[in-house]
Structure 1
Amino acid sequence: MNLVIIDGQGGGLGRQLVSAVKDRYPDIEIIAIGANSAATNAMLRAGATQAATGENSVIVACRRADVIIGPVGIVIADSMLGEITPAMAQAVGQSRAKRILIPVNLCDNIIVGVTDLSMTKNVQNAVEILGTLID
């Protein structure tokens, strides 16, 4: 399975995702793509197998991905304070991969009807959904 985790800003969510996936599935290879180098480094330190940074890395990784996990902002152009370019959002949205998107009500994107859970619980839920795709 080609698992891609995408994050931006400081990479806190991406770091939590990489760590949680590695804890539950230690043999899975994770490709971490950061919208910036801080996010990439955070995910690498958490145990990502490979990592890259920037727009073209998102585009290439999305072409090869079976599953993409990240905050919902990765499919919204100009989200995450402008870190997600239109090309990045398009690549994620048009990928044939299954997308597991974490609701984050920040940066003027509010998701209605989603229970307000802690980020830790959202990460746990994402890993559980990944498990159904693996099994």
Structure 2
Amino acid sequence: MTDTRTAAEHAGRWKAGRGQAPHYASGHEQWWTCLACPLDGCEWHHDDRHDAPAAPAVLEALVREHVTSHPLGDVLASLTAARDATAAVNAANDRAWDVVRLRRRQAAERGEHPHSDEVAQQLSAALVGHEDHEAVRALLGDSVHG
């Protein structure tokens, strides 16, 4: 699978999760893979059926043909926005880990085990996607819906 096709598949899933790509939903993944234009605001997509998949080279050509229909400036602006968003997420992640490290150091300075701080444990679990964080999500879900 090529980078262009991978980007189109990722865009299809991302847009579907936000209701942008017409008629595509995650439940349909068992019947087709939706390739979508990775540019924000573009609703072009192509459904590749699982029972009769197109050759990878055909899909690559299809996606490339569509992407080249956009002005180069739009493609570059979309890539720049994606890079900036990724950098912002990485920076926020780094700041959250700083809090975890600070709380662990403070626990050690109090003579406690560095991993005994409950806030640091919860934040760490959230950052790594550990199953322990699901208990926090359940509590939040109860308070939001209760």
- Using the size of structure 1 for normalisation, the TM-score is 0.29
- Choose between structure 1 and 2 for higher RCO, CA contacts under 8 A separated by at least 6 residues: 1
Instruction: Tell which structure's C-alpha radius of gyration is larger.
Output: 2
Question: Per residue, is there more strand in 1 or in 2?
Answer: 1
- Using the size of structure 2 for normalisation, the TM-score is 0.28
Question: Per residue, is there more helix in 1 or in 2?
Answer: 2
